[in-house]
């Protein structure tokens, strides 16, 4: 299932990207993500911040939505592509016993 | 001294021009009110009928890491936050009124109405965006069962922002609300800077309280509308909007400030 992407103009005129994964991410997935992109993982209750060199990703362990605020558009595209792979990889395979 | 010789609001260009020169004579400065007149201790306010746990929201939000990003900007709750000394903001607000009164006392009411509108616009957009944010959905969302809970949730968040302790005392869906502010930052400044008054003077909060009702019951924020200028203008150029009044005020001797908002 493809992730749902929507762009939103935020206070101050900045454009941000909301990504709906279709399921909430796990802490392990977000930690791995932060490490891969040289960022820092911080968690407060169920809120998670990934502080990357070019901006911040805000996520929740109980919601399927992430908000991406990055100054680097190429990195933003790469992260969205990776999120798509993450979701596809976690879709359970269906098998039918006949 | 500074003089603005060109203003983008008037010229419609993308910049203002402010010329700074050395003042020819020494200027006297208005003494600082320091911290203002703070409350001695929190007053026990009656709890409204809601599932929103104000204390839990406060505790959660006070713990959030709200520091600047690589650009020095504090981006959280879908908005751009600013850490500003309350009395810097107050000084500008109340001196604006003082200066208008010097020019013509009839302008005072115009100035007060402008600050109320500033409070309304600010809170409408700020809390509208907060209510659409991931932080809101994660921290406050699990406590929201009814539309009146959205009003309480907003005041729980407001209490975490350093403006004083905001508490909705009574909310009747789509009709009215009564809200108390204990230790409102406007009253802190006013009480330290002016003699006692018969008229309530928390003008920003007078605009803020109806704004929260307007977000929920006119803006239908639960449906996540796009909060742009066109939406705001469309919403408030028709009738049925909520308006507010300050019915108790520390600045006139009451133990806390209290506001009422109802439909026009």
> Is B256 exposed, middle or buried, given 0-12, 13-18 or 19+ CB atoms closer than 10 A?
buried
A67 → closest Cβ in B70, B126, B134 = B134
pLDDT tens-place string over residues B10-33? 999 999 999 999 988 888 888 889
What are residue B109's phi and psi, to 5 degrees?
A: -65, -35
Contact B64 A47 (CB under 8 A): yes
A45 → closest Cβ in B71, B126, B139 = B139
Contact B135 A47 (CB under 8 A): yes
Domain assignment of residue A97, yes or no = no
What are residue B246's phi and psi, to 5 degrees?
A: -95, 115
A60 → closest Cβ in B64, B78, B137 = B137
Which residue of B74, B75, B123 to mutate against A (max A Cβ within 10 Å)?
Answer: B75
CA distance A21 to chain B (A): 14
Mean pLDDT of B76-96: 90
Domain assignment of residue A78, yes or no = yes
Give, in order, the Cα–Cα distances in Å from A82 to each of A31, A55, A66, A91: 14, 17, 13, 15
Domain assignment of residue A96, yes or no = no
Residues shown for chain A = 98
Domain assignment of residue A94, yes or no = no
Supply the pLDDT for residue B220: 96
Nearest CA in chain B to A49: B65
Given a cut of 60, whether residue B124 has pLDDT beyond it is yes
A60 → closest Cβ in B70, B138, B228 = B138
Contact B80 A12 (CB under 8 A): yes
Contact B126 A11 (CB under 8 A): yes
Domain assignment of residue A98, yes or no = no
Q: Are A37 and A79 in contact (CB under 8 A)?
A: yes
Domain assignment of residue A51, yes or no = yes
Q: Are A41 and A26 in contact (CB under 8 A)?
A: no
pLDDT tens-place string over residues B138-157? 999 999 999 999 999 999 99
Given a cut of 80, whether residue B239 has pLDDT beyond it is yes
Contact A58 B80 (CB under 8 A): no
Given a cut of 60, whether residue A80 has pLDDT beyond it is yes
Question: Per mean pLDDT, which range of A88-92, B173-177, B193-197 is the poorest?
Answer: A88-92
Rounded distance, CA B108 to CA B98, Å?
8
Total number of domains in chain A: 1
Residues above pLDDT 70, as percent of chain B: 99
Rounded distance, CA B173 to CA B147, Å?
7
pLDDT tens-place string over residues A49-62? 998 888 889 999 99
Supply the pLDDT for residue B186: 97
Using pLDDT thresholds of 50, 70 and 90, give the confidence band for residue B175.
very high
Please state, rounded to an integer, the average pLDDT across all residues of chain B.
93
Given a cut of 60, whether residue A95 has pLDDT beyond it is no
Rounded distance, CA B177 to CA B72, Å?
37
Domain assignment of residue A57, yes or no = yes
Contact A9 B137 (CB under 8 A): no
CA distance B212 to chain A (A): 18
Domains of chain B (ranges, CATH numbers): 36-263 (3.30.1380.20)
Supply the pLDDT for residue A92: 57
Q: Which domain holds residue A39?
A: 4-89
Q: What do you get for the CA distance between the two ends of chain A, in Å?
A: 26
Domain assignment of residue A95, yes or no = no
Nearest CA in chain B to A16: B78
Using pLDDT thresholds of 50, 70 and 90, give the confidence band for residue A44.
confident
B209: tokens are 């309280």
Supply the pLDDT for residue A93: 54
A9 C-beta neighbours (distance < 10 Å), count: 12
Supply the pLDDT for residue A97: 52
pLDDT tens-place string over residues B24-72? 888 888 888 999 999 999 999 988 899 999 999 998 888 887 777 777 7
Supply the pLDDT for residue A76: 93
């Amino acid at each position: 299932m493809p992730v749902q992407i929507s762009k939103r103009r935020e206070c101050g005129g900045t454009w941000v990207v909301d990504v709906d994964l279709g399921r909430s991410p796990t802490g392990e997935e977000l930690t791995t993500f932060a490490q891969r992109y040289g960022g820092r993982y911080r968690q407060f209750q169920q809120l998670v911040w990934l502080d990357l060199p070019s901006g911040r990703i805000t996520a929740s362990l109980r919601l399927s939505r992430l908000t991406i605020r990055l100054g680097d558009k190429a990195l933003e595209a790469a992260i969205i592509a990776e999120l798509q792979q993450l979701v596809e990889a976690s879709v359970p395979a269906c098998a039918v016993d006949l | 001294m500074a003089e603005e010789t060109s203003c983008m609001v008037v010229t419609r260009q993308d910049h203002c021009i402010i010329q700074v020169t050395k003042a020819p004579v020494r200027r006297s400065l208005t003494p600082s009110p320091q911290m203002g007149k703070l409350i001695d201790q929190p007053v026990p306010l009656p709890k409204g009928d809601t599932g929103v746990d104000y204390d839990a929201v406060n505790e959660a939000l006070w713990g959030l890491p709200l520091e600047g990003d690589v650009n020095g900007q504090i981006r959280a709750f879908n908005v751009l936050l600013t850490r500003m000394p309350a009395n810097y903001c107050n000084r500008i607000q109340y001196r604006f009124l003082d200066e208008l009164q010097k020019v013509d006392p009839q302008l005072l009411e115009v100035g007060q109405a402008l600050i109320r509108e500033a409070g309304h616009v600010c809170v409408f957009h700020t809390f509208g965006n907060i209510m659409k944010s991931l932080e809101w959905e994660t921290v406050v969302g699990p406590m929201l069962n009814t539309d009146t809970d959205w009003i309480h949730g907003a005041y729980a968040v407001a209490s975490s922002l350093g403006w004083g302790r905001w508490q909705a005392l009574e909310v009747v869906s789509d009709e009215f609300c009564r809200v108390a502010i204990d230790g409102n930052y406007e009253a802190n400044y006013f009480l330290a800077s002016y003699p006692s008054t018969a008229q309530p003077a928390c003008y920003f909060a007078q605009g803020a309280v109806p704004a929260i009702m307007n977000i929920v019951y006119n803006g239908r924020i639960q449906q996540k509308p796009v909060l742009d200028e066109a939406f705001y203008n469309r919403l408030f150029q028709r009738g049925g909007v909520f308006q507010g009044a300050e019915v108790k005020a520390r600045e006139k001797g009451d133990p806390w400030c209290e506001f009422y908002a109802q439909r026009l």
